[in-house]
Structure formats: structure tokens, C-alpha cells
């Protein structure tokens, strides 16, 4: 009674009518079910002025050095618009004035497509920000997650641990971040939870059952490692310049354990080889 069901095909995603967030993923074909909870937060970028580690290191293009994490609208109800049709359902969420999200569930697909539009990241308080989204599931991942290796094999990562040396954890977030070019996944004895991306992002699993993706960054300080400029991208048009707005997609799917690899490899290829569209005109019924 508290949920809105979205999805014209086998895949159903439940949205809480109360909070406007998705709560559950259910595939009617294979009966896979998982809780899903999404949230947004940002890491405030270290400006390099503190002497905490005696290296005066600012967060910049090369070095991810957050000094705090702040949830975005975690308590606020988000306006939701749901569009339902024969081919796909869409859920529009205006998360904040600079975060807009469209979630799509297709009739003939068994994954959820999430399109994010983020930016310009506000910097009027003088603090650089690195925006992340968290997707929490009920997978019992036990500190273990898997990330692709430059689009190739998925490698096992264990939080706060390296197999070949004794790791001292000074940066709990940055020390567990990995480059994500294709995707990452979690698994337990029952299910696999996979996320594939359409662009290179940063990612991690800092909490069991949770995957985290960094969607956009806007920084005000140079990290002193070579760029000699802050990562503060702007776009100029119509007589004004503003911070960059990015738009991208990621894809979510839950499979029975051992069955996710096929989707990750085949759909991963499709993400990076999109169908090419070409347009022309023709006269009347002259079908070439």
C-alpha cells in the first residue's frame, strides 16, 4: 500500500510512495528479489591547509583527499513523476537544484537504467565537492567487491586490505576507491548485484551490501601533482560561463549468483558500441 510498482515487463521496481525512493527490485522471471535503497552525498574536498598528515595535500585532479562526507536531502521528500507506457516506464526525480535523475525500466530488459544529470556543482561556500551516489542492497558482501580492470577482467577487492602488503589505512574512502571503466559488482551465496557504467568514474564499496559511484567533481584547489590548475570545469555560452553539467547513465541488475557475468560482458559491449542512428527523408510511400 505504500509502494508504486514500476516496470511494464518482468522486472519490477518498487518505489516508496512516502519517500520517493526505490526500495525493491524484483524479477518475475527468475524470482530474484533484492532490497534497493539509493542516496546521494558529497565529499568535501580538502583544501590542503590542514596539517593532519604533514603533507598539506589538497584534493585535486590526481589526488582524492576528502575531509568529510555530507548527505544530500536525505530527510527531504523528493518530488517524483512516474511515466508509464507500453515500452518503458520512467521515474523522474528532482533530487536537488543541481541533481536530476531519470530511472527507466524497459519491458524487454532485465536491468534498470539510471540517467543522472548533475551540475553545476555549487561552490559558493568556497568548498570543492565530489558527488557520489550510494546503492544499498541486502547482499552480504563481507568487505569484498569486484571492479573491472580497464574494461577487462573483474578483480577482487577487499576493503582495507591488500593481499601483498600490510596496508595502513589513513584514508578510509580514498584508500578503497578504484577506477571504474566498465562496472563493479557484489555477491553473496544467493545473488550478485552488478552496476555497469557508460563512462569512467570512481567507485567503491565502503559499506557491506553497498556500491558507490562518483558521478561528478568540482574542485577549487590544485593538488600540486602536475596539472597546476584546479579541476573546476566551466562551459561558456549565451554570454555567460557556468560550471559543467554532466549527464550519464549507469545500469543496475541483480542475478542469481554465478549468472551475472554473461550480462556484464555482453551488455557491457553494447554500452560501448551504441546503435548508430542516421536520419534521412523520403518521398511518400517510396520505401527504399
Partner 1 sequence: TTDLLADALAIAQHHDAVSGTSKQHVADDYAKRLFIGYKQAEELVSNSLACMVESASASGCKNPSINFKQCPLLNISYCPPSEADLAPGKKLVVVVYNALGWKRTDVIRIPVVNENVIVQDSTGKEIESQLMPIVKASIAIRNYYATAYAGESPTSSPKYWLAFRATVPPLGFNSYVVTSGKRAVAASIPQTFHRTDGSQ
Query: Which residue ranges make up the site for partner 1 (CB under 8 A)?
Result: 4, 17-18, 20, 61-62, 77, 79-90, 92, 100, 106, 108, 117, 200, 226-229, 231-238, 245, 247, 266, 269-270, 273, 275-285, 287-288
At its nearest, how many Å lie between partner 1 and the CB of residue 225? 8
Q: Which is nearer to partner 1, 72 or 246 (CB)?
A: 246
What gap in Å lies between CA 179 and CA 156, rounded to an integer?
Answer: 13
Contact 208, 143 (CB under 8 A): yes
At its nearest, how many Å lie between partner 1 and the CB of residue 217? 8
At its nearest, how many Å lie between partner 1 and the CB of residue 65? 15
- The backbone torsions φ and ψ at residue 265, rounded to the nearest 5 degrees and listed phi first, read -80, -45
The CB density around residue 107, as the number of other CB atoms within 10 Å, is 14
At its nearest, how many Å lie between partner 1 and the CB of residue 138? 26
Per-residue CA distances from 175 to 51, 66, 88, 145, 171 (Å): 19, 11, 39, 14, 5
At its nearest, how many Å lie between partner 1 and the CB of residue 176? 19
Q: Which is nearer to partner 1, 68 or 79 (CB)?
A: 79
Q: Which is nearer to partner 1, 8 or 175 (CB)?
A: 8
Q: Which is nearer to partner 1, 60 or 209 (CB)?
A: 60
Q: Which is nearer to partner 1, 92 or 143 (CB)?
A: 92
Contact 243, 234 (CB under 8 A): yes
Q: Angle at CA 179, nearest 5°, toward 175 and 181?
A: 165
Report residue 76 CA to chain centroid gap. Answer: 21
Amino acid at each position: 500500500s505504500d509502494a508504486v510498482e514500476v516496470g511494464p515487463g518482468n522486472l519490477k521496481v518498487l518505489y516508496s510512495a512516502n519517500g520517493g525512493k526505490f526500495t525493491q527490485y524484483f524479477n518475475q522471471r527468475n524470482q530474484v528479489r533484492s532490497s534497493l535503497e539509493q542516496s546521494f552525498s558529497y565529499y568535501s574536498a580538502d583544501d590542503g591547509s590542514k596539517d593532519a598528515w604533514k603533507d598539506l595535500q589538497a584534493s585535486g585532479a590526481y589526488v582524492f583527499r576528502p575531509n568529510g562526507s555530507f548527505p544530500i536531502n536525505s530527510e527531504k521528500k523528493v518530488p517524483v513523476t512516474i511515466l508509464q507506457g507500453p515500452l518503458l516506464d520512467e521515474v523522474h526525480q528532482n533530487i536537488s537544484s543541481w541533481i536530476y535523475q531519470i530511472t527507466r525500466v524497459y519491458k524487454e530488459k532485465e536491468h534498470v537504467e539510471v540517467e543522472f544529470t548533475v551540475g553545476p556543482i555549487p561552490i559558493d561556500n568556497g568548498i570543492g565537492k565530489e558527488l557520489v551516489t550510494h546503492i544499498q542492497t541486502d547482499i552480504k558482501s563481507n568487505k569484498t567487491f569486484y571492479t573491472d580492470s580497464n574494461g577487462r577482467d573483474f578483480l577482487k577487492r577487499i576493503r582495507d586490505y591488500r593481499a601483498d602488503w600490510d596496508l595502513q589505512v589513513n584514508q578510509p574512502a580514498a584508500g578503497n576507491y578504484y577506477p571504474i571503466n566498465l562496472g563493479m559488482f557484489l555477491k553473496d551465496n544467493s545473488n550478485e548485484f552488478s552496476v555497469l557504467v557508460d563512462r569512467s568514474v570512481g567507485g567503491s564499496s565502503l559499506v557491506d551490501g553497498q556500491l558507490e559511484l562518483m558521478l561528478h567533481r568540482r574542485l577549487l584547489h590544485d593538488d600540486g601533482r602536475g596539472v597546476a590548475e584546479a579541476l573546476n570545469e566551466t562551459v561558456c555560452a549565451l554570454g555567460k560561463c557556468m560550471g559543467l553539467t554532466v549527464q550519464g547513465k549507469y545500469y543496475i541488475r541483480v542475478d542469481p549468483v554465478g549468472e551475472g557475468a554473461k550480462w556484464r560482458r555482453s551488455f557491457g559491449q553494447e554500452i560501448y558500441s551504441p546503435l548508430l542512428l542516421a536520419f534521412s527523408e523520403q518521398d511518400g510511400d517510396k520505401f527504399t
